Amino acid sequence: MNLLYEPFIDGILSDGYGIMDDFLSPSEVTALRTCLHNRREAGQFRLAGVGNGQVTVTTAIRGDEILWLDEATATADEAAFLERIGQFVQYLNQTCYLGLRDFEFHYALYPTGTFYKRHLDRFRSDSRRKLSVVCYLNDNWQENDGGQLVLYLPEADGLEGQMTVTPVGGRLICFDSGQLEHEVFPATRERLSVTGWLKTA
């Protein structure tokens, strides 16, 4: 499908994560960011929760506001994004035999100063989350804006490595939901993304 995907696939298979810049073009990022802002201004976002069902809101653990994407109510730009993810899933299944069947995505907005403490994405009671995917929607993000994603990487000999990802608009990061703990650092400005999970049957 796309040669850009090759190093990315290798990363997922050998290290449990892959990063791809410009997964979304600047105009796609701008379009989705506009949709996000419109929906937030319409009062559609809610503080995210923790645990299965996300029933408990705990800003000491995570402070982002989210809105699940729904094909039935998607704008043209959101539908195009979901379509794009569908193609990506197809490609992953063809190259990695991951057996992905389904996906779910939400917008996430971290107000200034909020964070998400170190955690694992896969719920004990929902082992279907195979890969976590985050696509950033930020405009002109700078290193000193903060808001990095840090992946904690288990290494042979029991040590732990770290991979730090700056949330640059259009960048996509994908990692093993069941293996890699990670956290989101606070930022000095609003931090925007569309985040989701690719699931097995």
d(CA 15, CA 52): 27
Minimum CB distance to ligand OGA, residue 185 (Å): 9
Minimum CB distance to ligand OGA, residue 170 (Å): 14
> Which two structure tokens, joined as six digits, stand for 85?
């993810």
d(CA 85, CA 82): 5
138 vs 193 by CB, closer to Mn ion: 193
- When binding is defined by CB under 6 A, the residue of 36, 67, 149, 153 that contacts ligand OGA is 149
Give which of Mn ion, ligand OGA, none residue 134 binds (C-beta under 5 to 8 Å, depending on kind). ligand OGA
138 binds ligand OGA (CB under 6 A): no
Span 11-40, contacts to ligand OGA by CB under 6 A:
none
Exposure string of 18-51, with b = 16+ CB inside 10 Å and e = fewer, is: bbbeebbeeebbbbbbebbeebbeeeebeebebe
d(CA 128, CA 63): 25
Positions touching Mn ion (CB under 5 A) are 121
Q: Which residues bind ligand OGA (CB under 6 A)?
A: 108, 116, 121, 134, 149, 182, 184, 193, 195
